[in-house]
């Protein structure tokens, strides 16, 4: 049980070669004969050599570590981070996460500077502040953003929010709903705007009820969804279905609907967006639009690694397609469409 781990110098000494040869061998670079390479790798493995990434980076090389800046407040973000970790590891890259707390408003500059001392590139996941990165074109460090960051000069990996929202409305319309309420998201976010735009477009296209009262404002959070749905439930003619701009809003809405003595989906259908894991925990399980988490993280890592290798990013903007996940919170509208009362029991679907 050795106390301290061996350095490259020790490997080199044991193998009877220079440090550079050892370095080339362990980094899989040319300039070493096959036998020597094998020998060095064997020794490195025997001695439990772990390269010092900090030193690698310090001396101008690659550390083979990628950084992630994220707010870990939502499971959605955490799952994205996990996906990035796997994708990175598959490419022989380690991942380190800088957790941004929403409470502190530390400027992004120093954080990136800190990370740049260790990592070769950074993936930024910022669901809540669109202009966060706009300022810093550090240029030194490859950066890729996920989800938002429209104005930032970095490649962006995004879900096609417009398309996703269309799927949601199409699903509701196909079930027979003509009067659909919409709980909007945080207006400052491009994702929220895209979803709202799709809602309005589809409503016009399908000739659904276009009552302005049917659009209420949420904030992407549970509480906002609750209040918004309350307003919808108090309308003279409430909608038969509600599209919430994200799952947490939908969860809040569900409570408000229940509070108004109506049930989901018998009286009101409800659909969310994201497919966070809570969506499957609530009762009834929430029908929603799934963001392709795995694809997103893989795309982000691939783009970043390309940039690290000096290849120009394949695209400034990669749009991934979401999909409908039909669960239990949506159904056909009640037959007596005008019924505002709890009505109709026993409808199994």
Partner DNA sequence: ATAAATAACGTTAGCGCTAACGTTAATGAT
Partner DNA sequence: ATCATTAACGTTAGCGCTAACGTTATTTAT
| Residues found near its own copies in the complex (CB under 8 A) | 1, 3-5, 48, 50, 52-55, 57-58, 65, 72-73, 75, 78, 81-82, 85-86, 89, 94-99, 101, 103-104, 109-110, 113-114, 117-118, 137, 139-140, 222, 251, 254-255, 258, 261, 278, 281-283, 348
Asked if residue 17 binds DNA (CB under 7 A), the reply is yes
78 binds, among its own copies, DNA, none (CB under 5 to 8 A by kind): its own copies
- Buried-state track 68-78, b at ≥16 Cβ within 10 A, e below 16: bbbbeebebbb
Asked if residue 19 binds DNA (CB under 7 A), the reply is yes
312 binds, among DNA, its own copies, none (CB under 5 to 8 A by kind): none
Determine contact, residues 115/69, Cβ cutoff 8 Å: yes
Asked if residue 7 binds DNA (CB under 7 A), the reply is yes
Identify the CA nearest to 214 among candidates 193, 185, 194, 234: 234
324 binds, among its own copies, DNA, none (CB under 5 to 8 A by kind): none
CB of 113 to DNA, least distance (A): 10
Instruction: For its own copies, give the closer residue by CB, 85 or 334.
Output: 85
Instruction: For its own copies, give the closer residue by CB, 161 or 287.
Output: 287
Asked if residue 309 binds DNA (CB under 7 A), the reply is no
Give me the residues paired with residue 67 across strands: 96, 122
CB of 40 to DNA, least distance (A): 9
List 13, 36, 197, 217, residue binding DNA (CB under 7 A): 36
Is residue 176 classed exposed, middle or buried when 0-12, 13-18 and 19+ CB atoms within 10 A define those classes? middle
Count of CA atoms in the C-beta half-sphere (13 A) of 201: 13
List 1, 2, 3, 30, residue binding DNA (CB under 7 A): 30
Q: Is 345 helix (H, G, I), strand (E, B) or coil?
A: coil
CB of 5 to DNA, least distance (A): 8
Asked if residue 13 binds DNA (CB under 7 A), the reply is no
CB of 202 to DNA, least distance (A): 52
Q: Which long-range contacts (CB under 8 A, 24 or more apart) does 4-13 make?
A: 5/48, 5/49, 5/50, 6/47, 6/48, 6/49, 7/52, 8/49, 8/51, 10/47, 11/40, 11/43, 11/44, 11/47, 11/49, 12/40
Q: Which two tokens stand for residue 12?
A: 């080199």
Asked if residue 20 binds DNA (CB under 7 A), the reply is yes
CB of 302 to its own copies, least distance (A): 18
The residue count for the chain: 349
Q: CA-to-CA distance for 321 and 292, rounded, in angstroms?
A: 7
List 42, 45, 46, 55, residue binding DNA (CB under 7 A): 55
Total number of residues that touch DNA (CB under 7 A): 28
Peptide bond into 116 cis (omega under 30): no
Residues 60-79 that bind DNA (CB under 7 A): 60-62
CB of 272 to its own copies, least distance (A): 12
Instruction: For its own copies, give the closer residue by CB, 255 or 306.
Output: 255
Identify the CA nearest to 276 among candidates 249, 254, 295: 249
Asked if residue 138 binds DNA (CB under 7 A), the reply is no
Residue indicated by tokens 């990136």: 112
Give me the residues paired with residue 318 across strands: 157
Instruction: For its own copies, give the closer residue by CB, 1 or 338.
Output: 1
Instruction: For its own copies, give the closer residue by CB, 163 or 340.
Output: 340
Residue indicated by tokens 């120093």: 110
CB of 47 to DNA, least distance (A): 11
Q: Which two tokens stand for residue 66?
A: 């990628």
Residue indicated by tokens 């502040």: 129
Interface positions with DNA (CB under 7 A): 7-9, 16-21, 23, 26-27, 30-34, 36, 49, 51-52, 55-56, 58-62
């Amino acid at each position: 049980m050795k106390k301290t781990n061996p350095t490259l110098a020790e490997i080199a000494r044991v193998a009877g070669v220079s440090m550079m040869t050892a370095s080339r061998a362990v980094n899989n670079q040319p300039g070493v004969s096959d036998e020597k390479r094998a020998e060095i790798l064997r020794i490195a493995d025997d001695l439990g050599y772990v390269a010092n990434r900090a030193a690698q980076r310090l001396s101008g090389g690659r550390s083979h570590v990628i950084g992630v800046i994220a707010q870990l407040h939502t499971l959605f973000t955490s799952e994205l981070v996990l996906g990035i970790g796997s994708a990175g590891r598959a490419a022989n890259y380690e991942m380190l996460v800088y957790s941004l707390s929403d409470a502190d408003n530390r400027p992004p500059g120093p954080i990136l500077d800190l990370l740049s001392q260790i990592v070769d590139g950074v993936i930024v996941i910022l669901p809540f502040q669109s202009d966060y990165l706009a300022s810093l074109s550090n240029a030194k460090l490859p950066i890729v953003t996920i989800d938002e960051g429209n104005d930032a000069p970095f490649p962006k990996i995004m879900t096609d929010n417009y398309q996703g929202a269309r799927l949601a409305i199409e699903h509701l319309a196909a079930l027979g709903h003509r009067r659909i309420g919409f709980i909007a998201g945080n207006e400052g976010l491009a994702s929220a705007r895209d979803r709202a735009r799709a809602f309005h477009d589809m409503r016009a296209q399908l000739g659904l009820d276009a009552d302005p009262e049917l659009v209420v404002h949420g904030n992407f959070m549970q509480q906002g969804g609750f209040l918004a749905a309350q307003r919808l439930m108090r309308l003279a003619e409430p909608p038969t279905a509600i599209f919430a701009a994200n799952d947490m809003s939908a969860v809040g809405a569900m409570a408000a609907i229940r509070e108004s003595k109506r049930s989901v989906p018998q009286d009101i259908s409800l659909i969310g967006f994201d497919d966070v894991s809570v969506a499957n925990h609530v009762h009834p399980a929430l029908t929603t639009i799934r963001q392709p988490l795995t694809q997103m993280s893989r795309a982000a890592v691939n783009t970043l690694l390309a940039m690290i290798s000096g290849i120009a990013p394949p695209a400034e903007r990669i749009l991934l397609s979401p999909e409908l996940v039909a669960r239990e919170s949506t159904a056909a509208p009640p037959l007596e469409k005008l019924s505002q009362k709890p009505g109709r029991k026993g409808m199994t679907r």
